[in-house]
Amino acid sequence: MDDKFQQKPFSAEELIAKLSQASPLQASKVLIESELFEKKSSINVLDEIYKHFDSKSGLIDELVAPVGMNVLDGIISHKKLGLNRTGLTASRVWNEIKGFDYSIAEVNAKTLSNKQQLEGMRTPRDYNKSVRATMTDGRNLEKRKDKKSDSNGRVESGIEVKDDGERVILYRHQQQARDAGESKLSADTDHVIPVKQINDQYAKNVYLTDRDIAAVTDGDFNLIEISNELNRMKGAGSFRDLFDRKKTLQAKRDSGGKMSQKEKNDLKKLEGVSDKTLENGIAAEKESAGKVLGSAQDSALGNLKNNKKAIALKAGGQALEQGGYQLLGTAIIEMIKPLFHELSDSIENGFEKGVNVARFNDAVKIRFGRVSAYLKDVVIPTLHGSVKDFFQNLFKVLIEGILGLVTGMFKSVMRIISEGFSAIISSIKIICSKSDSMSSSEKADAITKLLASTVSTFVVMYFSEVITKIVPDPFNEIFVIIASGVASTLLVYLIDKIDFFSVKYEKRSKLVAEVFQERIAQIKRNTDAFSAASVQALVEQKLTFNKLCGDLEDGITSDLDVTSNVNLIADFMKVELKIRDTESFLEVLRREKVLTI
């Protein structure tokens, strides 16, 4: 149930707290002020439910969403487009479509072609020596070391610092270091972001070639000179790992925890590296990670826009088509967005009203005008290269299409049979469903809609043979998917609007009953909680008072001092007494000429 129709729950604890804070003399007022149900008139609530029901937002979710998801799923799982391999899912794209707005469309287009494509890769490529060999070349590291050395064969460490804060100077060659008796200070050129991490993150991206990945791995921004000792200590881990381990071991030692021999050795080694050095290392890791990502994105976008043969080099001819089709798929999804937006908007706000015009023709002009403007201005410029690439591969695709024609026809027939069969099965299921979950009118309505949408799909399928001839593969299938989706949506919407079986009012009554039954149950729960809390508090107050008054009475009859009894009664009543002990009372008598109550 929508939150706006709910009765606010009443808190018994709150009432008990209020009663205990207030004077027992004010209990009645506290009880009267307690709200056990909202003040809103039930007629207004009923009106609001009617309005909510008519708002049609539910219709979009009930009607357009399943069809939309089916269409998207058809496109995304299309074997040639292979969009599912890019990490796209129908629900993800559907969410984007639902949030589509012409004013923010450009951002969305970029998001899809950039971030989603880059981050969409899920399973990393297997990593081994031969893979590593394609990513990094020892010669690059040596060249870099030479470049960084001075004429005396000395290299400044990228991150290591001495106690005085100056950078550690390393030896270019191992022999030099040994000769100087500082064998630990020979320079190593190392990857800041480890090669395996880059493989896991980027290798499967269809828009990055092996060369792109190698360029990123051995890029200047990802290399650093450090002492061979620190390099050995770091191994396949990161500076962040080293820093964390050092702190953990130190904390363990300081807290008197028992340390193994290995831990003691490790700590000794780690304490030989200053915190500042490790902090520099962490900063370098952060900077390089940003640059690696930036460089990967640039390469991917470069491939995406220019679509040089770079993608083809990645994994042969099949991948070329794959990459091309994926780009094409992206373009198709970008085209669907404004189309679905128009469809949903027409249903929700009216075809003409949604664009604030009175005539149907004007609405058509505006709606289709803005779709084509969007495609021209936003989608086509971004994906121009890919579309061009697709047409370059068109011959290949056409041959495939002709070969698949015979099997294609067979497939269509099978599809019609299976669609029809599943529609009949669904109808039987609806008829057999329990009458308390669906009334007979609702069943009739559901079956009509189901059959109508199936028929509309058949009609579109019938024309698909014609479409196949006019539209090239794989557009034809996509076109059929979209057309059947849109046709069945419109048909079902029309049936819903005509409401042959007056199901609308039945459904609305169901909502009304659901809302009011919950509201009534809440009022009852509130009243019970109120009654229980009130009785409890009032009985407790009465018992406390009886005890206090009984003690006072006993005191009076036994001729005792009752000032403290009176104080307790005043405290119970939450009445403030200015003079609480007899000493002070005598003091006041002496000081004041007149005592005022």
Partner 1 sequence: MLGLWNAVKAGVSMVKDTVSSVGGAVVEGVKVVSDKVKSGGSKVYSSISGKKYFDEAERLYEKIESRFKYARRRYEIKISERSNEIRDHLQRVNKFKERIYTELFRKFLDVANRLHRVEVEGKYFKEFLAEDIFDCKEFEVVQSRAALFEIDFNDMSFGQAAYSILTLGFYSRKKAKQSLQQVKDEEQRVNEEIAKMESRITKAEQVVLSLSNVVIYFESIVANYVTLLQRFEFGVNSQRIIRAGQSSFDKLGFRMMPIRHIEDFHALFNLSVVMKEMSSMGYISESGELIEHDLAAIDTFSRHTATIQAA
Residues that bind partner 1 (CB under 8 A): 24-29, 31-32, 34, 36-37, 41-43, 45-46, 499, 502, 505-506, 508-509, 512-513, 515-517, 519-520, 523-524, 526-527, 530-531, 534-535, 538, 541-542, 545-546, 549, 552-553, 556-557, 559, 561-563, 565-567, 569-570, 573, 575, 577, 579-580, 582, 585-586, 589, 593-597
Return the number of the residue (43 or 358) whose C-beta is nearest partner 1: 43
Return the number of the residue (406 or 594) whose C-beta is nearest partner 1: 594
- Contact between residue 22 and residue 537 where contact means Cβ atoms under 8 Å apart: no
Q: How far is the CB of 566 from partner 1 (least distance, A)?
A: 5
Return the number of the residue (24 or 329) whose C-beta is nearest partner 1: 24
Report CA-CA distances (Å) from 429 to 265, 425, 432, 443: 71, 6, 5, 10
Burial of 314 per CB tally in 10 Å (0-12, 13-18, 19+): buried
Q: How far apart are CA 496 and CA 446, in angstroms?
A: 10
What's 353's DSSP letter? G
Return the number of the residue (387 or 579) whose C-beta is nearest partner 1: 579
Q: How far is the CB of 38 from partner 1 (least distance, A)?
A: 10
Return the number of the residue (265 or 509) whose C-beta is nearest partner 1: 509
Q: How far is the CB of 430 from partner 1 (least distance, A)?
A: 20
* Pairs from 393-398 (Cβ < 8 Å, separation ≥ 24): 393/320, 393/321, 393/324, 394/472, 396/321, 397/321, 397/472, 397/473, 397/474, 398/472, 398/473
Return the number of the residue (250 or 582) whose C-beta is nearest partner 1: 582
DSSP-based three-state secondary structure for 159: strand
Return the number of the residue (162 or 574) whose C-beta is nearest partner 1: 574
Report CA-CA distances (Å) from 254 to 247, 250, 258, 272, 477: 10, 6, 10, 17, 70
Return the number of the residue (26 or 134) whose C-beta is nearest partner 1: 26
**H-run or E-run covering 52:** helix 42-54
Q: How far is the CB of 571 from partner 1 (least distance, A)?
A: 10
**Which ranges of 207-309 would DSSP assign to H, the alpha helix?**
210-217, 228-234, 239-254, 261-271, 275-306
Neighbouring residues of 276: CB distance < 8 A, sequence distance ≥ 6: 161, 165
Q: How far apart are CA 313 and CA 207, in angstroms?
A: 11
Q: How many C-beta atoms surround the C-beta of residue 206 within 10 A?
A: 23
Q: How far apart are CA 314 and CA 473, in angstroms?
A: 25
Return the number of the residue (291 or 508) whose C-beta is nearest partner 1: 508
Neighbouring residues of 595: CB distance < 8 A, sequence distance ≥ 6: 588, 589
Of the candidates 585, 584, 586, 555, which has an alpha carbon nearest to the alpha carbon of residue 568? 555
Q: How far apart are CA 310 and CA 494, in angstroms?
A: 50
Q: How far apart are CA 418 and CA 424, in angstroms?
A: 10
- Return the structure tokens found at 392: 């370059």
Neighbouring residues of 467: CB distance < 8 A, sequence distance ≥ 6: 476, 479, 480, 483
Q: How far is the CB of 576 from partner 1 (least distance, A)?
A: 8
Q: How far is the CB of 51 from partner 1 (least distance, A)?
A: 13
Bridge pairing between strands 223-227 and 154-161: unpaired
Q: How far is the CB of 580 from partner 1 (least distance, A)?
A: 8
Q: How far is the CB of 516 from partner 1 (least distance, A)?
A: 4
Q: How far is the CB of 28 from partner 1 (least distance, A)?
A: 4
Q: How far is the CB of 539 from partner 1 (least distance, A)?
A: 9
- Return the structure tokens found at 83: 């969009």
Return the number of the residue (11 or 306) whose C-beta is nearest partner 1: 11
Return the number of the residue (61 or 553) whose C-beta is nearest partner 1: 553
Q: How far is the CB of 562 from partner 1 (least distance, A)?
A: 5
Return the number of the residue (27 or 371) whose C-beta is nearest partner 1: 27
Q: How far is the CB of 359 from partner 1 (least distance, A)?
A: 29
Query: 169 has which bridge partners?
Result: 156
Return the number of the residue (262 or 590) whose C-beta is nearest partner 1: 590
- Return the structure tokens found at 114: 């950039």
Q: How far is the CB of 450 from partner 1 (least distance, A)?
A: 22
Neighbouring residues of 235: CB distance < 8 A, sequence distance ≥ 6: none
